[in-house]
């Protein structure tokens, strides 16, 4: 008696996915999903900056409790911290897993054109474009392939991918054109 072959790592997840989700698995995401994921990521970055502010305040308090007062860094410093935090967060998330928290919640993944992971250099360039020139992300509305300017320039795609595995699309390396 032979042992049945071990299923592909993504196949178990594919079986558990509802049919409507499976139909767009591996397809490029549109503007609504991307914008919602981006909003979640902005909230994550704001929370990180807020936590940093509270940490800095606690450090100052520990140094001299009697004369403590909350620091007033000003808008420019806080905004610079937010931009730096957001750029770092996006770069690390896209380099390591291809997903940010917002991407994970909405079933998205950033992949290279071949369907693999985005390397560090592409991830940081993509993050810089997304953070400092966010208007270029709205090219997705015009693009027939659901690609933003960073996607086109850096040969990346934001796809629907609800699998927990490392691969992207329905099968490793498989990308589908934009869903109808």
**Does pLDDT of 67 surpass 50?**
yes
Average pLDDT over residues 159-178: 59
Higher-pLDDT residue of 147 and 4 is 147
Q: Give Cα 118 distance to the centre of its chain.
A: 11
Look up residue 137 and give its two tokens: 């992300």
**Bigger pLDDT: 12 vs 2:** 12
pLDDT of 168 strictly over 50: no
Q: Which residues, other chains included, contact 29 with Cβ-Cβ below 8 Å and sequence gap of 6+? A: 106, 108, 146, 158, 159, 160
pLDDT of residue 166: 52
How far, in Å, CA of 107 to CA of 141, rounded?
20
pTM: 0.81
Query: Where is 108: in which H helix or E strand?
Result: strand 108-112
Q: Map out the domains of the chain as residue ranges.
A: 21-160
DSSP 8-state symbol, 3: P
Nearest CA to 110 out of 95, 121, 120 is that of 95
Q: Does 144 score more than 70 pLDDT?
A: yes
Q: Which residue has the higher pLDDT, 3 or 92?
A: 92
3-state SS class at 157: strand
The model's confidence at residue 20, banded by pLDDT at 50, 70 and 90, is: confident
CA dist., res. 39 & res. 36, Å (int): 5
C-alpha to C-alpha distance for 134 and 101, rounded to whole angstroms = 19
Average pLDDT on 85-100 reads 97
pLDDT at residue 24, rounded to an integer: 83
Asked whether residue 3 carries a pLDDT value surpassing 50, the answer given is no
């Amino acid at each position: 008696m032979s042992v049945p072959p071990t299923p592909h790592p993504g196949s178990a997840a594919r079986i558990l996915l509802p049919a409507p989700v499976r139909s767009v698995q591996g397809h490029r995401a549109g503007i609504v999903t991307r914008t919602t994921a981006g909003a979640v990521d902005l909230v994550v970055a704001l929370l990180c900056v807020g936590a940093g502010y509270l940490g800095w305040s606690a450090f100052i308090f520990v140094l001299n409790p009697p004369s403590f007062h909350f620091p007033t860094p000003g808008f420019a410093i806080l905004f610079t911290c937010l931009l730096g935090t957001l750029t770092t967060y996006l770069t690390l998330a896209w380099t390591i897993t291809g997903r940010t928290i917002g991407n994970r919640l909405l079933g998205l993944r950033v992949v290279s054109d071949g369907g693999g992971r985005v390397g560090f250099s592409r991830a940081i360039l993509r993050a810089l474009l997304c953070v400092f020139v966010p208007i270029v992300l709205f090219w997705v509305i015009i693009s027939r392939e659901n690609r933003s300017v960073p996607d086109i320039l850096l040969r990346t795609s934001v796809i629907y991918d609800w699998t927990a595995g490392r691969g992207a699309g329905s099968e490793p390396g498989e990308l589908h054109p934009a869903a109808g």
